[in-house]
Chain A
Amino acid sequence: MQIYLPIAEVSVNAFTLMGLGGIVGIMSGLFGVGGGFLITPLLFFIGIPPAIAVATGANQVVASSVSGVLAHMKRRTVDFRMGGVLLAGGLVGSGLGIIVFNLLQSIGQVELVVQLCYVVFLGLIGAMMLQESVRALMRSRKATTRRRSHQHSWAHRLPLKVKFRVSGLYISVIPPLLVGVAVGVLAAIMGVGGGFIMVPAMIYLLGMPTKVVVGTSLFQITFVTAFTTLMHAVSYNTVDVMLAVLLIVGGVLGAQVGTTLGARLRAEQLRILLALLVLAVCGRLALDLFLRPEDIYSIASRNS
């Protein structure tokens, strides 16, 4: 069933879009990532103009994160205090990121920088997570639960310490705030919610327990992407609500399935899965950068 999108001005198959939304929704519920890092490239691929793909992708991520965060709230796995700190940083970062994005756009290298960001970040994080979770899996097989040394790191010696009860942490607010800013900047440049960066940062940098990480990151993503959507709608008119609705229908259903699945899998297995997924996307993007493109010419519309 073909459907014409009023803002993107293209006609696409409605079921394709719902399918895309569904896949991304499952991942959102499973891993606590908004799925923006997948939905945005996929939308490019089916011919949605990049600016619209980014803005509408953000709107879709709002829906799937709301759905996911509600499911997590029921299971009391959201650390609202930590989420609030991350969010404050995230909004500042997102504002900064949009300035950088405009700067890159004016010199015509957005695409390259975005792709490089994806490859570098996804590669690093994927490798790190895979290594960690394989090691953790080995350890848990030997049934010796041992606190990892980096849980008492520099993050514990900074001032402005706050108790994060749900996470069971007593650390300074500065690291989470910085994580929030960094994620916000990258989110704005890469057009994603930033969950795939935040989840590992929360686990490995802040030392949060895995079970609250997903809910808390979804909480932060909901608000950061809502802010991004509004900014895009107001300043660039690039949110296509018709496209968003189709993605959302698939996405919200997928998110519920994902959350249910996530409750059945073990944390280490979940992290290995996410690590493999991150590496797969990274590899795909890296190939695009290093292999000779099919057509070395490309057309970009320049809206005045």
Chain B
Amino acid sequence: MRALLVCAVVFGPVGALAQSTMPTHPGAGLLPPLAAPEPYPLFPDPGRPRAAVPENATAPPEQVVAGLSDSSVAITTSFDGSDILIYGAIKRETPIPDEPLDVIVTIEAPSEPLTIWRKERRAGIWINAAQVEVGAAPSYYAVATTGPLDQILAPDWDDRYRISLPLALRAFAGAPDVTDSVPFTEALIRIRQQNGHYRLDEGAVTLVEDTLFRTDIRLPANLVEGDYKTRIFLLRDGQVIDAYRAAIEVRKVGLERWLYRLAFDQPFLYGLMSLAVAVAAGWGASAGFRKLRRA
């Protein structure tokens, strides 16, 4: 019961973290899939080793068959975000069970190391006083579901597949130098949710006749390059019964790609080119204005 409540707190709307709702789903009758059923922490220590997930050891009775509208996203000069349509069907050999069926779709950008700083007032000035280094956190992470996440996903299954936002954060780099790192990770999620880089769209997946599903996920303009991990989970009674994975390749193309490669492969040349552009522009404007004034 407590575990589910905790979940609800995490996924409350932005800015209303404390305003929790009592979960209506009883969550009873679930068998913990892992050997060590520790109390489900709000922000587990990301340094804890991840359990190997034995996936689909036996063919599940229901399976996801899915497709993406784009298997790659091209970042052009005028790129300002992209919508990805994720759709699919559920393949089954047996009659539809009675329990409700739910679908969760996640998209995860490549991870990057980052530092979370907290300011404190020292001698009247606000300075960065404490830090927590996160070894790897996705620069973008979206979760779309058919219903409230805390009701359709059991905590231990969340722990196992690392679906919810706090769990999607990866390892800390070394031991954090603060005793309580929870406010830091909370702040990371809060800030990234505010700028749209972490998002939870409950109810954004539409499910038809317990067989067909689809959702649109908006990728923001500020994307980094890399393979975006897409996962689709099929759930019954809070338990993941099938998982499907695919990758969306996000790449710069054309001028963007050429400049990027030049900057990293030939930095001196790139630097000279930048200077040449600057000097030419400065000289050109000067000459142009002189002509204009004479005319």
Q: Do A and B come from one complex?
A: yes
Interface, chain A (partner B; CB < 8 A):
1-4, 6-7, 9-11, 47, 59-60, 62-68, 70-71, 74, 108-109, 111-112, 116, 226, 229-230, 232-235, 237, 239, 241-242, 244-245, 248-249, 252-253, 255-256, 288-293, 295-304
Query: In residues 167-198 of chain B, which contact A (Cβ within 8 Å)?
Result: 183-184, 187-188, 190-192
- Give the docked Cα–Cα distance between A65 and B279 (Å): 9
Task: Establish whether residues A299 and B274, one from each chain, have CB atoms under 8 Å apart when the complex forms.
Answer: no
Q: Which of A11, A67, A232 contacts B286 (CB 8 A)?
A: A67
A-B contact pairs, 26 of them (CB 8 A): A1-B78, A2-B78, A4-B221, A11-B221, A59-B278, A60-B278, A63-B278, A66-B278, A67-B285, A70-B282, A237-B263, A256-B285, A256-B289, A290-B124, A292-B126, A295-B191, A296-B119, A297-B116, A297-B191, A299-B114, A299-B191, A300-B114, A300-B115, A302-B112, A302-B133, A304-B113
Chain B residues, CB < 8 A from A1:
78
A68 to B289, CA, bound (A): 11
Most-contacted residue by chain A among B78, B184, B271 (CB, 10 A): B271
Cβ-defined contact, A301 with B221, below 8 A: no
Query: Does B48 make an interface contact (CB < 8 A)?
Result: no
Is residue B244 contacting chain A, with contact meaning CB distance below 8 A? no
Q: Could you say which of A241, A256, A302 contacts B114, with CB atoms under 8 Å apart?
A: A302
Chain B: which residue is nearest A302 at the CB level? B113
* Residue contact A4 to B256, C-beta cutoff 8 Å: yes
Q: Give min CB distance, B255 to chain A, whole Å.
A: 8
With A6-B256, A11-B221, A290-B126 as contacts: A255 and B285 at CB distance below 8 Å: yes
Contacts of A2 in B (CB 8 A): 78-80, 221
State in angstroms the CA–CA spacing of A287 and B190 once bound together.
Answer: 25
Contact at B282–A62, with CB atoms within 8 Å? yes
- Closest chain-A Cβ to B185's Cβ sits at a distance in Å of 10
Residue ID in chain A nearest B252 by CB atoms = A6
Q: Are B76 and A4 in contact (CB under 8 A)?
A: yes
Report chain A residues within 8 Å CB of B118.
296-297
Kindly identify, within residues 66 to 102 of chain B, every residue whose CB is under 8 Å from any CB belonging to chain A.
Answer: 75-81
Q: Which of B80, B263, B268 contacts A11 (CB 8 A)?
A: B80
Assess the A239–B270 pair: CB atoms within 8 A. yes
From B121, B257, B273, B283, contact of A67 by CB (8 A): B283
Most buried by A among B79, B80, B120, B275: B275
Residues B128 and A229 in contact, CB atoms below 8 Å apart: no
Whether A289 touches B125, Cβ cut-off 8 Å, given contacts A9-B223, A239-B263, A255-B285, is: yes
Q: Are A241 and B127 in contact (CB under 8 A)?
A: no
Query: Apart from A4-B80, A10-B222, what are 5 other A-B pairs with CB-CB below 8 Å?
Result: A2-B78, A6-B252, A11-B80, A299-B114, A299-B188
User: What's the minimum C-beta distance from A190 to chain B, rounded to whole angstroms?
Assistant: 17
Decide yes or no whether B43 CB sits under 8 A from chain A. no
State A130–B137 Cα separation when bound (angstroms): 49
Residues of A within 8 A of B133 (CB): 302
Chain B residues, CB < 8 A from A290: 124-126
Which B-chain residue is minimally distant from A291 (CB atoms)?
Answer: B126
Give Cα A304–Cα B260 distance, bound, in whole angstroms.
18
Q: Which residues of A contact B42 (CB under 8 A)?
A: none
Assess whether B131 is interfacial by the CB under 8 Å rule. yes
Tally chain B residues at the interface, Cβ within 8 Å.
64
Query: By the criterion CB–CB under 8 Å, are A242 and B259 in contact?
Result: yes
> How far is A111 from B192 in the complex, measured between Cα atoms in Å?
21
Instruction: Say whether, besides A4-B80, A62-B278, A301-B113, A252 and B284 are in contact (CB < 8 Å).
Output: yes
Known: A4-B75, A252-B284, A302-B133. A237 touches B119 (CB 8 A): no
**Chain B residues positioned under 8 Å from A65 (CB to CB):** 282
Q: Specify the chain A residue showing the minimal Cβ separation from B132.
A: A297
Q: Across the interface, do A9 and B222 meet the contact criterion of CB distance under 8 Å?
A: yes
A290, B127: Cα distance in complex, Å: 10
The minimal Cβ–Cβ distance linking B118 to chain A, given in whole angstroms, is: 5
The list of the 5 closest CB pairs from A to B, nearest first, reads A66-B282, A233-B271, A11-B221, A252-B285, A297-B187
Q: Indicate which residue in A237, A248, A297 contacts B281 across the interface (CB closer than 8 Å).
A: A248
Contact A233 B277, CB 8 Å, known A63-B282, A297-B184 = no
How many angstroms between the C-alpha atoms of A279 and B228 in the bound complex? 47
Asked if B283 contacts A66 (CB within 8 A), the reply is yes
Question: Contact mask B198-225 → A, CB, 8 Å, 1/0?
Answer: 0000000000000000000000011111
| CB–CB B273/A241 < 8 A | yes
Closest A residue to B125 using CB positions: A289
Contact with A along B126-161 (1 / 0, CB 8 A): 111001010000000000000000000000000000
Q: Distance in Å from the Cβ of A50 to the closest Cβ of chain B?
A: 13
Residues of A within 8 A of B224 (CB): 9
Residues of B within 8 A of A241 (CB): 259, 263, 270, 273-274, 277
CB distance from A55 to the nearest CB of B (A): 9
Q: Output the least CB separation between A87 and chain B (Å).
A: 16
Residues of A within 8 A of B36 (CB): none
Residue of B whose beta carbon sits closest to that of A248 = B281
CB pair B285 A10 closer than 8 Å: no
Question: Are the C-beta atoms of B128 and A70 separated by less than 8 Å?
Answer: no
A226 pairs with B275, CB closer than 8 A: yes
- Which residues from chain A contact B116 at a C-beta distance below 8 Å? 297-300
Q: Which of B77, B126, B286 contacts A293 (CB 8 A)?
A: B126
Does B117 have its Cβ within 8 Å of any Cβ on chain A? Answer: yes
